[in-house]
Structure 1
Amino acid sequence: MSSKATKATGTLLAAIACLLPLVPVALQPGFGVFASIALAAIGLVFFKGARAPTLAMVWKNRIVSILFGIVVGSGMAWGIANFVRPFVEQQFGKGISVGGLEQAAGNPIMYAFVLLIALGSAILEEIVFRGYVIGWGAKIFGKGFAPVIMLLSTAVFGYAHMDYGVSGAVVTGFAGLVLGTLYLLCGRRLLPCIAAHMTFNFIGSTALYLAT
């Protein structure tokens, strides 16, 4: 096999590996995310070229990255709670299902558990849906395709939360669109997105706890 054919084969395999984590969550919303995380982890192990674009963290500097992410996450939580969620629920005639998470209301132990899961999932979801799929995808397909890959990742990210109901999936998709846009605006650096996502999930989890 010629070097050109070998390179083409390697690129094809990398492209498949890059987009593969989107498949489990598309086929099985909710629990499929565990398979998606596993596939991304396997990809990072076997494709050295995936590591740098996936795990590129700092935009400008750490403090700016974190503070900017906190501001965006706070604004996203406020905007979704006051405008996006009411509009979406009105359009679909259904509220967002929190799948038993209402048990965190007034329960410190349950709140701590929900918060731990929420913060941890924020980190993992950013690594998979933003860093791995979009960041590595931009390297494989070219920077010009990054917005297209972002929209694809966003659509799957929203659908992956279908266990929250249709309204929940749409609202989560909107949140994913904000995070994906933030990721591109910050030069495909993850730290602002992780800070924003963690802030958003912290506010949401705390709102559940205070809903007594």
Structure 2
Amino acid sequence: MTMLVQQTISLLAALPAFRPISSERRAMVAQSLQVTAIKKQTPFVLTYPPATYYLLPLTPNLTLHRTSNVTFGMRLPQGVLWPVTLQPNEQVQIRCVTEGQLGILSTRAMVELLQLSPRVRQALMQSICLSESHISSELEQYTCNDLSGRVARLLLDLEQSASSNIIHYVHVQLAALLNAQRESVSVIIGRFRRAGWITTSYGRIKIDDHNALLRLANHY
């Protein structure tokens, strides 16, 4: 559980919903959040501006006693909304924070939030899984592009060191020189061939567009 919490915290910074809002916006929210008659067991009215609010099951700074139904909402990343309704005369302890304030919670406070609220933890993990999938996709694309540049550079170097303009290498040999998967190198070689940059036959590669390969090699 501790490892799960720590992994969750380490990924929170990547979630757009947890980017802190400006200090001016936080100050405006704080000024707009008004509580009257805060004494325990005394009915009061809570008003707040249109914004995203979270109910955190942390050490409370207010003991609230309500005389009418009031519904709050915890809006989490990816649009997940968990409504929290207080029944008439129900006394509860909550702590209201804005989205920006949630973004600057301490590690200890975030650990308490994840441990004490299974619904929040579930929503956060769903969001993190989506974010991790997106990051993995971008990393895979970057790795593929980077390998394309390395293949282009290798072909140019091999041609320069060869006695002719024909490179006598098969895909598995190229992959070994690049410490890459043969299948990945074959895909890239096929892409170069379809683009008209190279001409290939078994064990033979001829570069037809040096400038295109050079641009790719210099880009990554």
TM-score, normalisation: structure 2: 0.23
Q: Greater Rg, structure 1 or structure 2?
A: 2
Q: Flag the structure with higher strand content.
A: 2
Larger RCO, structure (CA 8 Å, separation 6 or more): 1
